[in-house]
Amino acid sequence: MARTLIYMHWFHLILAIVFEAGWALAMKKSEGLTKPAWVAVFVVTYLLSAAFLALATKKLDVGLAYAIWAGCGMAIIAICGILFLGESASWLRIASLALVLIGVVGLKFSAS
C-alpha cells in the first residue's frame, strides 16, 4: 500500500497530460468556442488537467513536472493532429517531436 502511494504523483502527472491533450483537442473541435458541447469538454478537461498537475507537484519539482506535462502533452496533441486532423507529418515535425521527447527523458533522469 505504501509503495503505491509513492508513485501516485506520477499517476497524477500522467492524468494531467491526458487531460491536457483532451482540452487542446476539444478546443480545436469547438471551432473557436462556438460549439457548446465541445466547449464543455474543453472546460472540464482543462480544469482536470490543472488539478492533476497541482497534485503531481505536491511531490515533484514544479519545473520537472511542468516540463514533462508540457512536452508530453504537446507531443500527444501533435501526433493526434497528424493522425486524426490531417495535419502535416513532415520529417522536420517528426524530428522535432523526437527532440522534445528526448528532452523530457533527459529532464527526468537529471532530476533523479
C-alpha cell at 49: 488537467
Question: How many Å apart are CA 47 and CA 70, to the nearest integer?
Answer: 15
The average confidence (pLDDT) of the chain is 91
Domain that holds residue 12: 2-111
Residue 31's SS3 state is coil
DSSP state, residue 90? -
17-68 pLDDT, tens digit each = 999 999 999 999 999 999 999 999 999 999 999 999 999 999 999 988 998 9
DSSP state, residue 70? H
Question: Would the pLDDT of 105 be above 90?
Answer: no
Considering the entire predicted model, what is its pTM?
0.87
78 band by pLDDT with thresholds 50, 70 and 90: very high
Q: What's the one-letter identity of residue 53? A: L
Question: How many Å apart are CA 55 and CA 8, to the nearest integer?
Answer: 9
Based on the structure, what is the number of domains in the chain?
1
Question: Would the pLDDT of 1 be above 60?
Answer: no
